[in-house]
Protein backbone atom coordinates (compact mmCIF):
# COMPACT_ATOMS: atom_id res chain seq x y z
CA UNK A 1 0.00 0.00 0.00
CA UNK A 2 1.18 3.43 -0.85
CA UNK A 3 -0.85 6.46 0.15
CA UNK A 4 0.37 9.79 -1.18
CA UNK A 5 -0.96 13.04 0.16
CA UNK A 6 0.48 15.83 -1.96
CA UNK A 7 -0.04 19.52 -1.22
CA UNK A 8 -3.26 18.70 0.59
CA UNK A 9 -5.02 21.79 1.90
CA UNK A 10 -8.37 22.34 3.57
CA UNK A 11 -9.15 25.54 5.54
CA UNK A 12 -10.75 24.87 8.93
CA UNK A 13 -12.21 27.23 11.53
CA UNK A 14 -8.96 28.22 13.30
CA UNK A 15 -6.25 26.84 11.01
CA UNK A 16 -5.80 25.07 7.69
CA UNK A 17 -5.07 21.39 7.22
CA UNK A 18 -1.87 21.32 5.15
CA UNK A 19 -0.36 17.90 4.68
CA UNK A 20 2.37 16.46 2.48
CA UNK A 21 3.09 12.84 3.31
CA UNK A 22 3.67 9.41 1.87
CA UNK A 23 2.38 6.52 3.96
CA UNK A 24 3.34 2.94 3.25
CA UNK A 25 3.60 1.13 6.60
CA UNK A 26 1.16 -1.69 7.47
CA UNK A 27 -0.11 0.15 10.52
CA UNK A 28 0.61 3.86 10.63
CA UNK A 29 -0.25 5.99 13.63
CA UNK A 30 -1.58 9.50 13.26
CA UNK A 31 -0.86 11.24 16.53
CA UNK A 32 -1.72 14.70 17.77
CA UNK A 33 -3.54 16.65 20.44
CA UNK A 34 -7.33 17.04 20.28
CA UNK A 35 -8.24 19.46 17.51
CA UNK A 36 -5.00 18.93 15.59
CA UNK A 37 -6.92 17.92 12.47
CA UNK A 38 -6.54 14.13 12.69
CA UNK A 39 -10.21 13.28 12.12
CA UNK A 40 -10.47 15.85 9.31
CA UNK A 41 -7.49 14.25 7.58
CA UNK A 42 -9.18 10.83 7.79
CA UNK A 43 -12.39 12.34 6.38
CA UNK A 44 -10.44 13.84 3.48
CA UNK A 45 -8.85 10.45 2.70
CA UNK A 46 -12.23 8.70 2.98
CA UNK A 47 -13.83 11.21 0.60
CA UNK A 48 -16.17 12.70 3.21
CA UNK A 49 -14.58 16.15 2.83
CA UNK A 50 -13.30 17.77 -0.31
CA UNK A 51 -9.86 19.43 -0.04
CA UNK A 52 -9.43 22.82 -1.73
CA UNK A 53 -5.96 21.88 -3.02
CA UNK A 54 -3.72 18.87 -3.47
CA UNK A 55 -3.93 15.22 -4.41
CA UNK A 56 -4.79 11.98 -2.65
CA UNK A 57 -3.43 8.90 -4.41
CA UNK A 58 -3.89 5.35 -3.11
CA UNK A 59 -1.57 2.95 -4.93
CA UNK A 60 -2.28 3.76 -8.59
CA UNK A 61 -5.72 5.27 -8.02
CA UNK A 62 -6.13 9.04 -7.86
CA UNK A 63 -8.84 9.51 -5.21
CA UNK A 64 -8.91 13.27 -5.49
CA UNK A 65 -7.03 15.93 -7.37
CA UNK A 66 -8.05 19.55 -6.89
CA UNK A 67 -6.15 20.63 -10.04
CA UNK A 68 -8.15 18.38 -12.38
CA UNK A 69 -11.35 18.55 -10.31
CA UNK A 70 -11.33 14.78 -9.81
CA UNK A 71 -13.06 13.70 -6.62
CA UNK A 72 -13.96 10.06 -6.21
CA UNK A 73 -17.09 9.52 -4.06
CA UNK A 74 -16.54 7.57 -0.79
CA UNK A 75 -18.28 4.47 -2.20
CA UNK A 76 -15.77 4.28 -5.05
CA UNK A 77 -12.59 4.58 -2.97
CA UNK A 78 -12.31 1.21 -1.24
CA UNK A 79 -11.26 3.05 1.88
CA UNK A 80 -12.84 1.75 5.10
CA UNK A 81 -13.62 4.13 7.93
CA UNK A 82 -14.40 3.38 11.56
CA UNK A 83 -15.36 6.63 13.33
CA UNK A 84 -14.75 7.22 17.00
CA UNK A 85 -18.40 6.49 17.90
CA UNK A 86 -18.40 3.41 15.59
CA UNK A 87 -21.71 4.54 14.03
CA UNK A 88 -23.23 1.06 14.05
CA UNK A 89 -26.58 1.34 12.30
CA UNK A 90 -29.09 1.26 15.19
CA UNK A 91 -32.00 -0.12 13.15
CA UNK A 92 -30.01 -3.18 12.01
CA UNK A 93 -28.76 -6.09 14.10
CA UNK A 94 -25.12 -7.15 14.23
CA UNK A 95 -25.38 -9.52 11.25
CA UNK A 96 -27.11 -6.88 9.12
CA UNK A 97 -24.47 -4.33 10.09
CA UNK A 98 -21.68 -6.72 9.19
CA UNK A 99 -23.28 -7.60 5.86
CA UNK A 100 -24.18 -4.03 4.88
CA UNK A 101 -21.36 -3.83 2.35
CA UNK A 102 -22.48 -7.11 0.72
CA UNK A 103 -25.46 -5.23 -0.76
CA UNK A 104 -28.33 -7.70 -1.00
CA UNK A 105 -26.12 -10.80 -0.95
CA UNK A 106 -26.50 -13.19 2.01
CA UNK A 107 -23.51 -13.77 4.28
CA UNK A 108 -21.06 -16.24 2.83
CA UNK A 109 -17.73 -16.56 1.05
CA UNK A 110 -16.81 -13.70 -1.25
CA UNK A 111 -13.68 -12.41 -2.83
CA UNK A 112 -11.13 -11.34 -0.29
CA UNK A 113 -12.21 -11.77 3.30
CA UNK A 114 -14.97 -14.20 4.24
CA UNK A 115 -17.75 -13.47 6.71
CA UNK A 116 -16.91 -16.55 8.81
CA UNK A 117 -13.24 -15.61 8.96
CA UNK A 118 -14.10 -12.15 10.26
CA UNK A 119 -16.45 -13.60 12.88
CA UNK A 120 -13.71 -15.94 14.09
CA UNK A 121 -10.85 -13.44 14.10
CA UNK A 122 -12.86 -10.80 15.94
CA UNK A 123 -14.67 -13.33 18.16
CA UNK A 124 -18.11 -11.97 17.35
CA UNK A 125 -19.88 -15.11 16.06
CA UNK A 126 -22.11 -15.23 19.13
CA UNK A 127 -23.28 -11.65 18.62
CA UNK A 128 -24.70 -12.01 15.10
CA UNK A 129 -28.38 -11.88 16.03
CA UNK A 130 -28.08 -9.29 18.78
CA UNK A 131 -29.40 -5.74 18.34
CA UNK A 132 -26.49 -3.29 18.34
CA UNK A 133 -27.99 -1.40 21.27
CA UNK A 134 -27.33 -4.38 23.53
CA UNK A 135 -23.57 -4.58 22.83
CA UNK A 136 -20.85 -3.56 25.28
CA UNK A 137 -18.20 -0.98 24.30
CA UNK A 138 -15.64 -3.59 23.31
CA UNK A 139 -18.19 -5.64 21.36
CA UNK A 140 -19.37 -2.54 19.47
CA UNK A 141 -15.81 -1.76 18.52
CA UNK A 142 -15.14 -5.28 17.22
CA UNK A 143 -18.37 -5.31 15.20
CA UNK A 144 -17.42 -1.93 13.70
CA UNK A 145 -13.99 -3.33 12.74
CA UNK A 146 -15.64 -6.40 11.21
CA UNK A 147 -18.14 -4.34 9.22
CA UNK A 148 -15.37 -2.20 7.77
CA UNK A 149 -13.14 -5.19 6.99
CA UNK A 150 -15.95 -7.07 5.19
CA UNK A 151 -16.11 -4.28 2.61
CA UNK A 152 -12.59 -5.47 1.56
CA UNK A 153 -11.00 -2.02 1.70
CA UNK A 154 -7.53 -1.25 0.36
CA UNK A 155 -6.96 0.96 3.38
CA UNK A 156 -8.68 1.08 6.76
CA UNK A 157 -9.01 4.35 8.69
CA UNK A 158 -9.52 3.95 12.44
CA UNK A 159 -10.42 7.10 14.38
CA UNK A 160 -9.45 6.70 18.03
CA UNK A 161 -11.03 3.23 18.27
CA UNK A 162 -10.01 2.78 21.91
CA UNK A 163 -10.92 6.28 23.11
CA UNK A 164 -14.19 5.35 24.77
CA UNK A 165 -12.95 2.16 26.43
CA UNK A 166 -11.58 1.70 29.93
CA UNK A 167 -8.03 0.42 30.47
CA UNK A 168 -9.10 -3.22 30.84
CA UNK A 169 -11.18 -3.18 27.64
CA UNK A 170 -8.35 -1.46 25.76
CA UNK A 171 -6.04 -4.31 26.74
CA UNK A 172 -8.60 -6.76 25.36
CA UNK A 173 -9.21 -4.93 22.06
CA UNK A 174 -5.54 -4.25 21.15
CA UNK A 175 -4.79 -7.94 20.36
CA UNK A 176 -7.79 -7.96 17.97
CA UNK A 177 -6.30 -5.00 16.12
CA UNK A 178 -2.95 -6.77 15.81
CA UNK A 179 -4.67 -9.95 14.62
CA UNK A 180 -6.66 -7.92 12.09
CA UNK A 181 -3.45 -6.41 10.77
CA UNK A 182 -1.79 -9.84 10.43
CA UNK A 183 -4.80 -11.94 9.31
CA UNK A 184 -6.45 -9.62 6.81
CA UNK A 185 -3.39 -7.77 5.54
CA UNK A 186 -5.29 -4.51 5.26
CA UNK A 187 -3.07 -1.45 5.78
CA UNK A 188 -4.42 0.78 8.55
CA UNK A 189 -4.14 4.42 9.48
CA UNK A 190 -4.70 4.61 13.21
CA UNK A 191 -5.61 7.92 14.86
CA UNK A 192 -4.91 8.35 18.56
CA UNK A 193 -3.76 10.89 21.08
CA UNK A 194 -2.39 8.18 23.34
CA UNK A 195 1.36 7.52 22.74
CA UNK A 196 1.18 4.10 24.46
CA UNK A 197 -1.40 2.84 21.96
CA UNK A 198 0.68 4.05 19.05
CA UNK A 199 3.82 2.36 20.39
CA UNK A 200 1.92 -0.89 21.04
CA UNK A 201 0.34 -1.03 17.58
CA UNK A 202 2.06 1.05 14.93
CA UNK A 203 5.10 0.58 12.71
CA UNK A 204 5.38 4.29 12.02
CA UNK A 205 3.83 7.47 13.39
CA UNK A 206 3.08 10.90 11.97
CA UNK A 207 2.72 13.79 14.39
CA UNK A 208 0.04 16.27 13.44
CA UNK A 209 -0.01 19.74 14.99
CA UNK A 210 -2.56 22.40 13.97
CA UNK A 211 -3.17 20.70 10.65
CA UNK A 212 0.48 20.17 9.74
CA UNK A 213 2.54 17.01 9.81
CA UNK A 214 5.45 18.16 11.98
CA UNK A 215 7.40 14.92 12.57
CA UNK A 216 7.39 11.27 11.58
CA UNK A 217 9.33 8.18 12.54
CA UNK A 218 9.37 4.96 14.54
CA UNK A 219 6.93 5.38 17.47
CA UNK A 220 9.19 4.34 20.36
CA UNK A 221 12.03 6.51 19.14
CA UNK A 222 9.91 9.50 18.30
CA UNK A 223 8.01 9.60 21.57
CA UNK A 224 11.15 9.26 23.72
CA UNK A 225 13.06 11.99 21.88
CA UNK A 226 10.23 14.50 21.51
CA UNK A 227 10.56 17.66 23.61
CA UNK A 228 6.76 18.25 23.82
CA UNK A 229 5.39 16.96 27.16
CA UNK A 230 2.14 15.59 25.72
CA UNK A 231 4.15 13.37 23.37
CA UNK A 232 5.72 11.57 26.32
CA UNK A 233 4.81 7.95 26.94
CA UNK A 234 2.49 7.56 29.89
CA UNK A 235 3.38 5.10 32.65
CA UNK A 236 1.53 1.82 32.13
Partner 1 sequence: MNFEVWQVAWFTAWVAAAGTLLILPPGVALAWLLARKDWRGKTLVEALVTLPLVVPPVATGLVLLKLLGRRGLLGGWFERVFGIEIVFTWRAVVIAAAVMSFPLLVRTARLALEGVNPRYEQVARTLGAGPWRTFCTITLPLAARGLAAGAVLAFARALGEFGATIMVAGFIPGRTATLSLSIYHLVLLGRDDAAWVLLALSVMLAFGAVWLGEVLLRKKPS
| DSSP secondary structure string for all residues of 24-93 | -SSEEEEE--TTSSHHHHHHHHHTSS--SEEEEEETTEEEEETTTTEE--GGGTTEEEE-TT----TTSB
**Residue closer to partner 1, measured from CB, 149 or 173:** 149
**Distance separating alpha carbons of residues 139 and 173, to the nearest angstrom:** 9
Q: What is the DSSP letter of 105?
A: P
Q: How many CA atoms lie within 13 A of 90 on its CB side?
A: 2
The answer to the question of residue 13 lying near partner 1 (CB under 8 A) is: no
- Per-residue mark of binding to partner 1, 155-194 (x: CB under 8 A): ----------------------------------------
- Binding to partner 1 (CB under 8 A) within 23-52 occurs at 43, 46-48
Residue 68 CB, nearest approach to partner 1 (Å): 22
Which of the residues 86 through 145 are near partner 1 (CB under 8 A)? 87, 89-91, 100-101, 103
What is the three-class DSSP state of 12?
coil
Minimum CB separation from partner 1 for residue 229, in Å?
Answer: 32
> What is the contact surface with partner 1 in residues (CB under 8 A)?
43, 46-48, 73-75, 77, 79-81, 83, 85, 87, 89-91, 100-101, 103, 147-148, 151, 153
Amino acid sequence: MNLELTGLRLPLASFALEVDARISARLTGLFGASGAGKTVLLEVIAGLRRPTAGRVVLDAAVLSDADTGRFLAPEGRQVGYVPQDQALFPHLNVRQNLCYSHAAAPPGPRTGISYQHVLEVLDIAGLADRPVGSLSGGERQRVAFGRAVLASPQLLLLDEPLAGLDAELKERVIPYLLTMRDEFGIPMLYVSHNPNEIVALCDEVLLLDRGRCVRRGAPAELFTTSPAPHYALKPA
